[in-house]
Structure 1
Amino acid sequence: MGRALLAEAGPSCSGTPARAFPCLLPAPVSVTHRQGQAGAAMAAALIWISLLVGLLEGLGGTEAQQTTLHPLVGRVFVHTLDHESFLQRPEHVFSVSAPIPITYHAHLQGHPDLPRWLRYTQRSPYQPGFLYGTATPEDRGHQIIEVTAYNRDSFNTTQQMLVLLIGDPEGPLLPYQAEFLVRSHDVEEVLPSIPASRFLTALGGLWEPAELQLVNITSALDRGGRVPLPIEGRKEGVYIKVGSASPFSTCLKMVVSPDSHARCAQGQPPLLSCYDTLAPHFRVDWCNVSLVDKSVPEPADEAPAPGDGILEHDPFFCPPTEATNRDFLTDALVTLLVPLLVALLLTLLLAYVMCCRREGRLKRDLATSDIQMVHHRTIRGNTEELRQMASSREVPRPLSTLPMFNVHTGERLPPQVDSAQVPLILDQH
């Protein structure tokens, strides 16, 4: 961009940039003014260059990259989402040594999530992501995975298309499969090719002679495992399934024997007749080893034959007999009449107690002493007299209730002096 501006300026616009840009403007009035115009022109040119570079980057990022992959049925598939494959910078832009946080979102084209056989994991935005899983025969065919990368610093997005052509593997089948629980690793640590090949090489010492291949890799958290404490050395664990065309070795068969299961139930290590070649790089939980033999086909379930619909005679089955007709009139009468009769009897008893068993006023007066009766009449008479006096308006009000009444002098007018300062005993001064 800067060279194009210099070429359009003509031959007189050659030299340093500080002298090139001012030649596009009118003749300077002074040296200071010319230097200010040169700085402003240079700043504007740099801004336009950066904007054009960003526009070109955006136009280049709109077209999603397309990558074709070939997963195999019954074999583990691992694809690394590396930051460098999504960070496409122009040649003149220098790379930054500081790591850039990037997160990914992957989904099946036309669907909000990944297919059931494929999983995604990423430990942190500064580490690469992984797409891994094992395709089943039902997933055979053509699938497109859309991966969107988010730059957490610049908020830029980059899209990538993964075309998965799922086919059948070549070579012999893997009817003998063994699954191991490796507690010393997380799933992200065994997905790269180097740790996976190292595990197969170490396992070859326990399973000879066999050509081992990875069948599946699953995080222990997906199997119901618990998240470990944030302590150094604690890992989530990972299940690694390995397949082979050769039968299991005697060492592996002894690990899953009933005696080994009994020792594991008591908290003891299982029986291991050979040297543990996986240690110390891989700490395997030998009590969680499972062996699957698919060399012998399972018997097909017999289809149920349709019958005639009539049950055969069974001595343990006694069908209920037909219910006889019953008359519920007696039950209804008993249910209604018995409570009514009981309520009637209680009503009669209460009426007898309230009406026929009353003592009467005359009987109570005769049973009361004369002194108590006189006392009672006196109280009632005094009460009536007080009520009459209270109802009469002719009785004067007490002086203490009148307004502006002096309790010391008895005057009803406001006192001439403050009565609170007058001593109660006048002789005291």
Structure 2
Amino acid sequence: MLALLGSILVPLVAAGLRSVLWALAGVAGLALAAVGVWWTLAHTGVLRALGAVLSVTAPVAVLALYAASGMLGPALLSLALWLLAVTAARTALSPGAGPTPSEQSEHAVSEAPHSPWILMNPRSGGGKVGRFHLVEKAQAAGCRVVLLEGGRDVADLARQAVTEGADLLAVAGGDGTQALVAEIAAHHDLPFVVIPAGTRNHFALDLGLDRNDPAAALEALTHGVELRVDLGYAADRVFVNNASFGMYASVVTDPAYRDAKTRTTLRTLPGLLTGEDAPGLRARADGTHIEGLQALLVSNNPYGRAVDAARPGRRERLDSGLLGVVCVRVGNTAQAARLVRGPRSGQLIRLNAGEVVVESDTGTIPVGIDGEHVVLPSPVVCRSAPGALRVRVPRRRPGTPRATGADWPRTAQLALGRLFPHR
């Protein structure tokens, strides 16, 4: 709280009431930069070039103005104090952020599985299966290991394993493969083990697993505990993390995206944002109707902070029975400028819901489901299946995430309680 107060007092001491004008100049620079980014993404030709120049020159011009007036030092100090305040607030609130899924529903496992089955993708995560010797370690732990090769159907392999007597299913691979096997495990009420051998492994992160040591997840077989977590559904497709609609899903379905990501994105975005290819998404989240969306992210439990589909943040819990919804609605230059206000702008919408219905002006909608890109008929109904999956995790693991936002009222209450413990 002292750092937050300092971030306000520093510019006031340095420039008095004129600091308000300097703050407005900074906001104006950010707004112009947002306009420049919008022109760069939504247009081609001369306007795109002007947008690229504006997105760089606007913040540089503000910094130069600050430097010329002697305000650069106070501005940087104020920014540093604000960052310190936010970091300290998150740290201070972490011990009291509330119970995580593992703390709520975790229970000891009575016995080890007799016939555990593990599917491993040797190509996932740049070859983590081989680098961490997961096949040998899993076999030494008594597991039957199946390698995903030759385009074999993941769900069929898992069903076959259940038919042959598997009493635990596990996956060493990315989140898309995890979701396919998790659905089979949930259907048969079998325990499921996540081995983080993919590239990002957001599901493993939110379960508190060590993503830098995938082999450590094998301890769940002998020294594990179980917890119940939710699964998300987009139509009949399961997701453990999120389903993305709109710009991101449309861009990545382009065949050229894999080999030329930046070039393909710049080529296709103008049509998706303002042209004939614009998705025109609409959503109904419980009783809330939202129209004119360019992008929509539906997550299995709300993210603490969602930036985009590639960096959605972390989930504080996986057993709330709710879907998180993040919508982006930017249709023109003025709306792009208002994005600097964050959620208050109306261009970035966040809410939680039990069911989300996504519609478009076309008969089908491209969807990115845990990184796997599919096309589903419109409308797409997304729902949560509370407590559908039994996840077995090691008893000892880095830990599940805590609150990622700075809750200033709670921080103030905590600070006042330290200052006046007897009141």
TM-score, structure 2 length as denominator? 0.20
Structure with the higher strand share, 1 or 2: 2
TM-score, structure 1 length as denominator? 0.20
